[in-house]
């Protein structure tokens, strides 16, 4: 598998890089970012995946979430994937919440999305194999987190693949997409009208059915303009019904921005670090 280095610089004693590669799964060039802490120069380190939200690329969280400061201290690597396939040959839509920038971390089976929009398989299989092969990372010590659409991606990937993702958390995740306008629209487009196929991509549904083997940390802002689309309460109820370990915390005054994400990043990094370093 080939990999081009777009940019690389020192960052908190480690290295922040941006890389590009031809994706077989998404059938286009894909860009992603990796932060390697100083510890990775000597030994393989645990890795935390950060999945971003609608309209984001690999760049937003890399520059605005403030995660490297804490990952450097804890000796964790960070991977920041893009949120969808990209390019002129890739299907798109004029709405910000469908098409490029809005992959939803699912595998489309409907035209015109199917040929490129395979973000679940891309993240879980192809990009995972690529970064584990190219960087000094511990394959058995991977965790996953994300924001908004990326929080949905993190929760669903972790619940479906607990042996792959040993720790999970989310910032203001889309919690119940099969019942939200952030979900129904995209699932209809990517997966078709049959709602039974949607259930495997809904964190609240999956939580109620399977739970997750480990504590789940979710933070939500109390002044989030998108609260009615996120449906945090559905996840809380599913966790309660399941007896799921972990917590959903509501933080008064915080909105949906990266100021919210950055404010609680240290605690999320600590959550993952504790679990992953014990693996």
Site for a copy of itself in 205-244 (CB under 8 A): 221, 223
260 binds a copy of itself (CB under 8 A): yes
164 binds a copy of itself (CB under 8 A): no
Q: How far apart are CA 183 and CA 270, in angstroms?
A: 30
Element (H, E) at 271: helix 258-277
Please confirm, yes or no, whether 23 is among the known catalytic residues. no
Site for a copy of itself in 23-82 (CB under 8 A): 63-64, 66, 68-69
Distances from the Cα of 219 to the Cα of 97, 168, 249, 260, angstroms: 22, 12, 5, 9
Q: How far apart are CA 106 and CA 129, in angstroms?
A: 18
User: Using an 8 Å Cβ cutoff, are 119 and 107 in contact?
Assistant: yes
Rounded least distance, CB 227 to a copy of itself, Å: 14
Q: How far apart are CA 79 and CA 142, in angstroms?
A: 10
Please confirm, yes or no, whether 52 is among the known catalytic residues. no
Pairing label, strands 14-23, 28-36: antiparallel
Query: Which of 92, 202, 219, 224 is labelled catalytic?
Result: 224
Query: Taking contact as CB under 8 A, which single stretch among the options 114-122, 163-171, 230-238, 250-258 is the one that binds a copy of itself?
Result: 250-258
Q: What binding mask, one character per residue, do residues 176-195 give for a copy of itself by CB under 8 A, x or -?
A: --------------------
Query: Which of 23, 52, 128, 148 is labelled catalytic?
Result: 148
Instruction: Tell me which residue of 181, 27, 28, 221 sits closest to 97, measured CA to CA.
Output: 181
Residues with catalytic roles: 148, 224, 256
* Contact residues: a copy of itself, CB under 8 A: 9-13, 15-16, 63-64, 66, 68-69, 221, 223, 251-255, 257-260, 262-263, 266
């Amino acid at each position: 598998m080939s990999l081009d280095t777009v940019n690389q610089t020192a960052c908190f004693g480690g290295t922040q890089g941006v890389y590009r590669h031809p994706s077989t799964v998404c059938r286009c060039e894909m860009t992603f970012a990796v932060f390697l802490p100083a510890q990775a120069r000597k030994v393989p380190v645990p890795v935390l995946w950060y999945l971003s939200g609608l309209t984001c690329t690999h760049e937003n969280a890399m520059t605005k979430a403030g995660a490297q400061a804490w990952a450097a201290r804890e000796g964790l690597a960070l991977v920041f994937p893009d949120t969808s396939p990209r390019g002129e040959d890739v299907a798109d839509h004029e709405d910000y919440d469908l098409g490029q920038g809005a992959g939803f971390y699912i595998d489309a089976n409907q035209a015109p999305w199917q040929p490129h929009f395979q973000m679940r398989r891309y993240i879980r299989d192809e990009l995972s194999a690529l970064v584990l092969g190219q960087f000094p990372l511990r394959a058995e010590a991977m965790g996953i987190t994300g924001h908004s659409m990326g929080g949905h991606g993190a929760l669903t990937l972790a619940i479906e693949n607990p042996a792959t993702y040993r720790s999970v958390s989310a910032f203001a995740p889309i919690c119940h997409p099969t019942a939200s306008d952030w979900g129904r629209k995209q699932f209809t487009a990517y997966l078709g009208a049959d709602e039974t196929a949607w259930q495997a991509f809904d964190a609240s549904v999956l939580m109620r059915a399977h739970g997750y083997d480990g504590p789940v940390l979710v933070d939500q802002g109390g002044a989030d303009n998108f609260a009615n689309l996120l449906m945090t309460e559905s996840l809380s109820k599913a966790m309660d019904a399941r007896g799921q370990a972990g917590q959903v915390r509501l933080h008064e005054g915080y909105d949906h921005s990266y100021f919210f994400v950055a404010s609680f990043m240290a605690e999320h990094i600590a959550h993952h670090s504790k679990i992953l370093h014990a693996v």
